[in-house]
Chain A
Amino acid sequence: MDYVIRSLVSNQITDIVMVVGYRKERIMSYFGDGDDFGAKITYVNQDKQLGNGHALIQARDHLDGDFLVLPGDSLMDARSVADLLSIGAGHGALVIESEMPAKYGVAVLDRNRISGVVDKSGEGASNVVLTGAYKLPASFLGVLERCVEGGDYNITHALNLSISQMKLEPIFGQGLWIDAVYPWDLLEVNHAALLNLTAQTAGKIEPDVLIHGEVSIGKGTTIRSGTTLYGPISIGSGCDIGPNVSIFSSTSIGDNVTIDPFTVVRNSLIMSDCSIGSHSLLSQSVLGYGVKVRSHLMASSADAYVNLEEEFYKVPNIGTLVGEDCAMGSGISIEPGTILGPKSKIMSGSRVTRNVPTGAIHS
């Protein structure tokens, strides 16, 4: 979301309304009034998460004239926002050609306009996928409001109703757009976000640390002797890493993370407040906030079938996906493609070959 806001600001779009709901406090505390981002952010609360149309209606009082709608959970670069703005006074929807599942539906095209919006599951549907990003006129809100009042909480129905009155152009984005539909998409999002990283060092780097490529290190972070960092790597503030840790690209590490000696991390995403004990391997993996690993964790990666809500997805080169506040003992080995639920506990010496549900204890 940080990335989306920055993309907007670099296109001089600074008046931003955020519709927030579930765990809104985390978002509000992060962005504040937008000052740090060069934007003015107003928050609007959506009490129940009914649908994206319902969410948009909550912001109605703050919208006049044309406005942009962007989903907060996808990664969109400044170029994509510029594409959306390129239609000038017209209106449109940002689309891409893709075979991937479409959260926001696919567009039915009639020459250079969108003549309808349908679910991907429909027969003969196109591969022009909606990204959920639009440029719309204020008049659309009236239509949307009637739909929402009628219990139709998604934006799709209102779009189909308005298409006869307003010309909605398909805008084939040239920029970067990644939608985090599945947890493993986060690795791709992270990789893409790190491409623009510029090296910055605010922390303390002890002697004999090797740094290759772009590495950014936050304030109050200590990188101890013998550690090797192959960028792009982003490390937050207040971390303690090493001695003798190896971290490879493209890895992002949040704030207040400790990584003990002889641990190897490759292309992974480690969120704030995690601690990883010594002699561990973490490859192509995601650790949520506050994950604790005692030592000797083996989380290697391979092509694997990942079980997500009883459906299997074939994912290339994937490691372990760990939910927030999971606590692991020492000497644990995890089969590639395994998901460990939030607040789960993995006892020392375990070999984990299947997903562990939320809060469960695996021994």
Chain B
Amino acid sequence: MCGIVGYTGNREAQEIILDCLKRLEYRGYDSAGLAMVSPGSLQLKKSMGEIAVLESNLGHMPGTTGIAHTRWATHGKPTTENAHPFLDCKGEYAVVHNGILTNYMGLKEELLKKGHEFTSETDSEIFAHLIEDAPGKDLKSKVLSVLKLVDGAYAIAVVEKGKNEIVAARNESPLVVGVGHDENFVASDVTALLKYTNEVIYLMDKEAVRITPDSIETFDLEGRAVKRDSQRVSWNLEDAERSGYPHFMLKEIFEQPRAIHESLLGRLESREEDSFFKSKFPSIKIIGCGTSYHAGLVGKYILEELSRIPTTTQISSEYRYSPVTESKPLVVCITQSGETADTLAAAKEARRRGCKTLAITNVLGSAITREADHVIYTRAGPEIGVAATKTFVTQLIALYLLGLELGTMSNTLSSERRRELIADMRSLPRVVQSVLNEASKIESLAENYKGAHSMFFIGRHINYPTSLEGALKTKEISYIHGEGYPAGELKHGPLALLSKDTPVIAICVRDHTYEKMLGNVREVSARDSPVLAIGSEGDQDLMKYAEEVFLVPRVDPLFSPVPIIVALQLLAYYLAMKKGCPIDKPRNIAKTVTVE
């Protein structure tokens, strides 16, 4: 998604800004641009495609204050004209914007009537022209008066000709301030700044900031000063580097044993005695988007099994359309970044409806943590690969922990069963490591399927959502159409699509669904589809049914999605690698989706 970077300090800004901008590349973008407060004028350069292209077109732009942007097209096509920053008619102000303005059409018409000339099709450009006309003696008051006019989501940063200052503001789009020595930053996320500082200030919605090389003022939209303390971020730059791996995705897949270990640290021995869990919840609703939604679908099985509280899972953007119910469910919001616009909106709606909310997120201090009544952090560390891997697995861990807590509170979990489950959870880092040790086997299996145009992933019970997530990974990065399906539903339709050219990945672990899964494997084999069965270690029979078999360590069926999804992540990765796809930056998709 769009990314913003701004720098003001005593050093030449060009290199620093480009460096920060490159660290936002993972968010996904189609064009980029930079505006510099140079002696005598505001200089501007934009280009389509990668930041490297922009860099080669730049030449030297002198100046110690500047703003830059990576754009992911929403309003207007991905073209150089539509790339940010935008200038006003006189070339005195430059603006970068992330988000979507809902009332821009009306504002744009008024500006056109006044004779302003627009160079792009974007909603963002109106900011530059509005600031040009705005009353106020300085940049800060001009920006504030413009923000009163616009509706919608925004994170903006503005510079003025001849001034070493940046004014920035946010509403429902992310923006952080980086605190340096004799220099300060703004950016869409912390990752961009880690090389220069790990001290940041998180702005709240409808707050603005003015930074100069040696000052930071935070204020609300009325211009009243608000005090925001800086926080130290424990991530370091190294976490955001590839450390010898060819792709971030592979690095992150291999970090999963560590991420699970970290997510469990100190949470198994002692219970969270939080008053939050004292309330009785009549039902639970889990909401999320994409991979987080799939974690939520697995969560339904986990929470119902452990706490016996009826649970449903819903896609965030659909939640607002569901009617208000008489009983108030606990609403569990899952978002990796904590900034996903659809999930944030749903969390706000849930609060409005009087529901208790619990967030599962990976980012400390992110927007969702301010919305929710209770937060469970996944401790996965920064995830750069666009395809979520370690955050999915740690979201499952958070759901298991939540299930244990709710189960204990509602007395549906005997202490003996609890002890067994905890022992099993402790084995998960090792179980995942064992799957990773077999990566080369999956790499050679991928060779069989790389020519496929379409693949099916089938499973039952808790591994039905696992099959959905496996299919999503395959779609996202290897561009092979993958479809996850409940194995029992095949005969009600999709069997018609199967042939020798559509491989089927069947999840056949040794649980109560095993016999039925074998039946489904026979069913698809009869249509000549090549079958790769993912089974439990020690299963000798599976080879009689499936063409290829990959075995994962045996765990309690409740935990089986963890080793299986790791195998499916590796399969998707190697398929993409063999097809030569851009794994860390798949086409058209963004890491953090901050628009609705």
Contact = CB atoms under 8 A, between A and B. Distances in A.
Q: Is the A/B pair a real complex?
A: yes
Interface of A: 20, 23-25, 28-29, 31-36, 42-43, 204, 219-220, 222, 237-238, 240, 255-256, 258, 272-273, 275, 289-290, 292, 325
A29 B430 contact: no
B244 A24 contact: yes
B244 A204 contact: no
A35 B236 contact: yes
B266 A220 contact: yes
Nearest to B265: A220
Contact of A290 (B239, B265, B430, B436): B430
Given A25-B436, A219-B266, A43 B244 contact: yes
Contacts of B268: 240
Given A219-B265, A238-B265, A238-B266, A290 B433 contact: yes
Interface residues of B, number: 29
Nearest to B436: A25
Contacts of A292: 427
Interface string B226-268: 0000000000111101011100000100110010010011101
Contacts of B452: none
Interface in B429-466: 429-430, 433-434, 436-437, 439
A32 B239 contact: yes
Contacts of B434: 290, 325
Given A238-B266, A273-B429, A273-B430, A28 B245 contact: yes
A290 B427 CA distance: 8
B237 A35 contact: yes
Contacts of A34: 238
A273 B433 CA distance: 10
Given A289-B430, A290-B433, A222 B244 contact: no
Nearest to A255: B261
A289 B269 contact: no
Given A240-B268, A256-B264, A325-B434, 14 more contacts: A23-B437, A25-B436, A29-B258, A33-B243, A35-B236, A219-B266, A222-B270, A237-B261, A238-B261, A256-B430, A258-B426, A272-B429, A275-B423, A289-B433
B469 to A, nearest CB: 22
Nearest to A25: B254
A263 to B, nearest CB: 15
B430 A325 contact: yes
Contacts of A256: 261, 264, 426, 429-430
Contacts of B254: 25, 28-29
A312 B265 CA distance: 43
Contacts of B270: 204, 222
Nearest to A31: B243
A219 B254 CA distance: 22
Contacts of A273: 426-427, 429-430, 433
Nearest to A222: B269
Nearest to A206: B269
B261 A33 contact: no
A275 B265 CA distance: 16
B255 A29 contact: yes
Contacts of A238: 261, 264-266
18 contacts: A23-B437, A28-B244, A28-B245, A31-B243, A32-B238, A33-B238, A204-B270, A220-B265, A222-B270, A237-B261, A237-B265, A238-B265, A240-B268, A240-B426, A289-B430, A290-B427, A290-B430, A290-B434
Contacts of B439: 25
B264 A43 contact: no
Contacts of A219: 265-266
Contacts of B239: 32
Nearest to B237: A35
